[in-house]
Structure 1
Amino acid sequence: EFYLLQPTPEGILPVDNSVFASTLAMDQHQQVIDHIAEALVEQGMPVEQYYPESGPGQQEISILYTQALPAADQQIAFRETVKAIAFQHHLVASFLPKILADQAGNGCHLHLSLWRDGKNLLLNPEGDGGLSQVACQFIAGILHHLPALMAVTTPSTNSYRRIRPHCWSGAFRCWGIDNREAAVRVPSNPDGNSPTNFELKTVDASSNPYLALGAVIAAGLDGIRNSLELGESVAVDPGHLTELERSQRGIELLPTTLGEAIGNLSADQILLDALGVELAQAYLAVKKAEWEAMKDFELEEEVELLLERY
């Protein structure tokens, strides 16, 4: 997800005032979107779907899945391509997680599946939600480490303005079938078969995709290694439950600031080991410095500083 914006005498503003899936927005921005899609395809990134998103000027483009390392490579190429082509059309493309206070934020939701010898290991029609035991353990590992993992997957102060209840951003530590308010969503399969992937919502494009993917995989493998149990699925919006109801179901609100997530990462030895001693020390030092420098920023100050960086 990203916003298309245009420089004006009043500042950098959205290119339109459209709504989700607006055909008018598709028509208005056909040239730039076609140009982006063609460039992605030329670089080996087939476009699976495109539509205008919920915010004014907001777009979503999804490319075909691939293995983890090439996916990280493609995420970098994707961002650079979108921003460069927008610039050629005298526009600004920004992946900053939260640009407008009262509009949708930009996520970079991560869809994963587990494979061995050409077989998708997620599938088990008899399992909870159609998931295999190894899939449940992998997801349990992600949820177990998620309060620390977010320092890597949502690593900017601005990230936490997007992750709020009732915003389809995964503000609660839980999972559910087709539940867009859960941090981990398992999409049901339209043909009735077992799901083929699951989605982690607490990811955005301010993250380093190599570190984010590596940390997510490390968390999931820890779940398999220690046979962690996946709690029951959640079918409702956790934000509509009382605190007591959430507590009884093991549902927790995830970190609401970068500072909180950094503190959790500092205490998570599994993720620190996955990063490696030198990288972990450097990463934490940089993120702590960013937090101290920006923790008191208003949204407008963050946008002024970060809009064109991301």
Structure 2
Amino acid sequence: MRDRPSATKINQPDPHVRRVLERAELEGIELIRFLYADHGGVIRGKAASRSRLAERLNTGIGHTVAMMAMNMLDQLQEVEHLGPVGEVRIVPDPSTFVPLPHAPGAAAMLSDLRNPDGSPWEACARTFLKDAVETLADAGYTLLAAFEPEFTLGRRLPDPAGGYDRLVPLDDALCYAGTGFDTAHDYTIKLIRALETQGLRVEHYHPELGPGQQELSVRHAPALRAADNHVLYRETVRGVAMRMSMWASLAPKPLADQAGNGAHLHLSLWNDTQNMFADDSELRECFIGGLIAHLPALTALTCGSVNSFRRLAPRTWASAYAVHGLDNREAAIRICSPLGESGEPNLELKPSDSSANPYLSLGAVIHAGLDGIRRKLDPGEAVDVDPDTRPGRYRRLPASLDEALDALEADELLMEALGPLRRSAYLAVKRSEAAAFAAQDAPYELFHHMRVF
């Protein structure tokens, strides 16, 4: 765990702070959102006014500890030390300041949750990733990462029969079809411009398999920045849609009978300027071995909702088996062949979606991969077929959130990495979600995930 920043460091002029204050004044920013991701995978926060921004950049905004025991249905869970007594501060990272083009007059910063004395708080998800990055650096490595999200674009309409609101897709275009490009064009251009304004470099875009389904990827970045980028991406995808009287859902399966939305996680490990995943390296194999060994438990963090497991079905290109393979899109871990002579090899973790807290997800992946390197874990054979065509040969991923949570509780490495307060809160929140949705029908589940993610 990081030490508390010294008073000397706190009082030193920070060029990021000066830049934030100058930009807020020059650009007419009235509200600055301090954002964080909770254990339910929900992006939450509070906002400071411009008049109090200089002060709040130093003190943060007061916040109840109980919010990290809140599930995605806004049901507060009983977790020791996360009740009505206790206070943390939402402390923004000034280097992450971005205007919000979809919300004129507003900006955002990604934030840590800290104790009132400024020390790291044991339930902060962003701190978990920062600590994982530091552990990796101590071993001599850095991780570059990028989420590859899909989402469903359409309109949220009342159910004529009086049931839950429906998500009606924008189109019925075919996968990669030109009509899909044209139908979503105005939205897509506004989204790209909004993302680029926030420093997220757009890589590529295309209409995906399902009705109204879109895929737009942004450039890789160091691990913490990649997770921050994914938070901004989620907020921007939905915010731009709302400004255009549409609705965008990044939920894993907002429509039961249509393709699911993943957020595949792309990874490459570096030692200074050298990509350690190049040339079939032993280190890459060991990293994969760590992911494979911990994959059932990892799934509880990378696919963090009940709805996630509607997507993780065999023969849907979503991955349902704990295997790896070169350019195998049915494998949980795809070894991606480089693009052109200058392309860099990377790994793609397919059981990953946008209902997960990206800080917990990516931090856990780092711990698992590093465990594989330290113990020189063998990933097993590379699979060059759809694993579902060989019944009984390969280990199936958990088929429900409860199964994944059972695996997480049994995984000593990840439980230790999460720490007592964080793991207690996460398990309580996720167990409560599993129980709440088990007591309801499918339309209830689909509606609430479409609404929240």
Give TM class, smaller chain. over 0.9
Of the three residues 46, 49, 74, the one matched with 2:204 is 49
SS of residue in 2 equivalent to 1:134: helix
User: Is the contact made by 2:286 and 2:377 (CA closer than 8 Å) also made in structure 1?
Assistant: yes
SS of residue in 2 equivalent to 1:185: strand
**Structure 2 residue 432 is matched with structure 1 residue 277:** no
Give 1:24-43 correspondences, 5 Å limit. 24-43=179-198
User: Is the contact made by 2:254 and 2:260 (CA closer than 8 Å) also made in structure 1?
Assistant: yes
SS of residue in 1 equivalent to 2:413: helix
Using the size of structure 1 for normalisation, the TM-score is 0.93
Identity of aligned residues (%): 45
- CA separation of 1:44 and 1:193: change in aligned 2, threshold 3 A: closer
**Whole-Å separation in 2 of the counterparts to 1:140 and 1:219:** 9
1:72 alignment partner in structure 2: 227
User: Is the contact made by 2:170 and 2:183 (CA closer than 8 Å) also made in structure 1?
Assistant: no
**Whole-Å separation in 2 of the counterparts to 1:168 and 1:152:** 20
Superposed CA offset, 1:195-246 (max 9, x none): 6101000000000000000001000011111111121100000111132xx1
Structure ID, larger Rg: 2
User: Is the contact made by 1:186 and 1:195 (CA closer than 8 Å) also made in structure 2?
Assistant: no
RMSD: 1.4
Structure 1 unaligned runs (5+)?
Answer: 125-130
SS of residue in 2 equivalent to 1:290: helix
1:6 alignment partner in structure 2: 155
Partner amino acid, structure 1, of 2:438: K
User: Is the contact made by 1:140 and 1:223 (CA closer than 8 Å) also made in structure 2?
Assistant: yes
CA apart distance, 1:101: 2.1
**Structure 2 residue 375 is matched with structure 1 residue 226:** yes
**Whole-Å separation in 2 of the counterparts to 1:303 and 1:29:** 23
Superposed CA offset, 1:6-28 (max 9, x none): 13454331111111112112112
SS of residue in 1 equivalent to 2:221: coil
CA apart distance, 1:299: 2.9
**Structure 2 residue 452 is matched with structure 1 residue 309:** yes
**Whole-Å separation in 1 of the counterparts to 2:313 and 2:254:** 14
**Whole-Å separation in 2 of the counterparts to 1:145 and 1:211:** 14
1:137 alignment partner in structure 2: 286
User: Is the contact made by 1:187 and 1:195 (CA closer than 8 Å) also made in structure 2?
Assistant: no
CA apart distance, 1:297: 3.8
**Structure 2 residue 267 is matched with structure 1 residue 112:** yes
CA apart distance, 1:189: 2.7
SS of residue in 2 equivalent to 1:307: helix
User: Is the contact made by 2:254 and 2:447 (CA closer than 8 Å) also made in structure 1?
Assistant: no
CA apart distance, 1:289: 1.1
**Whole-Å separation in 1 of the counterparts to 2:306 and 2:167:** 21
1:127 alignment partner in structure 2: none
**Whole-Å separation in 2 of the counterparts to 1:55 and 1:39:** 24
**Structure with the larger strand share:** 2
**Whole-Å separation in 2 of the counterparts to 1:100 and 1:228:** 39
Of the three residues 400, 419, 432, the one matched with 1:289 is 432
Of the three residues 136, 149, 158, the one matched with 2:307 is 158
Partner amino acid, structure 2, of 1:267: A
User: Is the contact made by 1:92 and 1:308 (CA closer than 8 Å) also made in structure 2?
Assistant: no
CA apart distance, 1:51: 0.3
Of the three residues 368, 391, 409, the one matched with 1:242 is 391
User: Is the contact made by 2:275 and 2:344 (CA closer than 8 Å) also made in structure 1?
Assistant: no
User: Is the contact made by 1:98 and 1:162 (CA closer than 8 Å) also made in structure 2?
Assistant: yes
SS of residue in 1 equivalent to 2:399: coil
Aligned residues: 298
2:335 alignment partner in structure 1: 186
CA apart distance, 1:116: 1.0
1:260 alignment partner in structure 2: 403
CA apart distance, 1:272: 0.9
